[in-house]
Structure 1
């Protein structure tokens, strides 16, 4: 006996959504770290001071730059959002959000905390570049707000979402020639 599909759910409601710019950012991080390593090795070789110890130090410097530049991979599924860095993976239940902080400094960050004690932090550009991730976060935040769990940051999140939605609308108008 088969069940009829639920007409209210979209076909990809259970699909995992990932940052579609992550691979390009990862390639850029690898390129920058390898370029720094090659350039330092070339300068050291041209100066005649290259040794095995110095080559090891330059390799360590290139590896450190890679770890610093390694982009966080943001993904979201039904009810959760995860951020995977080079060393660890963190996740929050977006329907259980308690705090949202948006910093608009030089290194802009979105910080999400849930009622289970989990915390993630990532760049808001990820949301601007990935409307499906933005939709998942918005749906979860609405559920959290409706349940009375979202105590701090509801206004900040609404402003961020409105600003990002405005950018998307302008891009659609420009692409269609209506602006």
Structure 2
């Protein structure tokens, strides 16, 4: 019987959890968009004289759906476990047992991580760019997987992401020091 992983569990020998620092702001923006849509639809119905309780509930449901669609998954890492918690499910991968890392460049770029036990996490690479502790854990886990021989596909995607993070970090240091 598989045990359920609580989110976040208590800190252990691996230290505390490292979380996505930008998630709160993104969730706040999603909530603002949902409330704005709900308010505009209510105001439009009130202005046209068609506001009735069932329509207000319909607009409320539409606002809730928009909030759920816009809220990004919450990403955290603890030791060698990366967890992505979305509105409907929580997914996790063991970073030291990665078998593939794939980058999907579509309308919204995504990084897909898979481990040897079938775990799969999809996340926005920007989360790793703006959160150095998350990136360090993913990079360290990928290096462990390469050393163990389990990471068969994805070294190129991780190298490109690493180069991007290094470039943006260097640019940030130059901007902060006035050497642009």
Common fold: TM-score over 0.5:
yes
Q: CA deviation at 1:13?
A: 5.6
1:167 is displaced (CA, Å) by: 0.7
1:169 aligns with 2:174: no
How many angstroms apart in 2 are the aligned matches of 1:147 and 1:66?
41
d(CA) in 2 for partners of 1:28, 1:63: 13
Q: Where does structure 1 differ by over 4 angstroms across 4 or more consecutive aligned residues?
A: none
Tell me how large the CA RMSD over aligned residues is.
Answer: 1.2
Count of matched residue pairs: 168
Q: Deviations over 1:94-150 (max 9, x none)?
A: 000000011222211010000010000011110111011111100000000010000
Instruction: Name the TM-score, length of structure 1 as normaliser.
Output: 0.90
Aligned match of 2:152:
151
Q: Secondary structure at the match of 2:138?
A: helix
After the TM superposition, which residues 78-117 of structure 1 pair with which residues of structure 2 at under 5 Å, given as runs?
78-117=79-118
Q: How far apart, CA to CA, are the structure 2 residues paired with 1:174 and 1:111?
A: 32
1:15 CA displacement: 2.3
TM-score by length of 2: 0.90
Residue in structure 2 matched with residue 7 of structure 1 by the alignment? none
**Distance in 1 (alpha carbons) for counterparts of 2:75 and 2:93:** 11
- Deviation of 1:152 after TM superposition, in Å, equals 0.7
**Where does the alignment leave 5 or more consecutive residues of structure 2 unmatched?**
1-12
Higher gyration radius (CA): 1
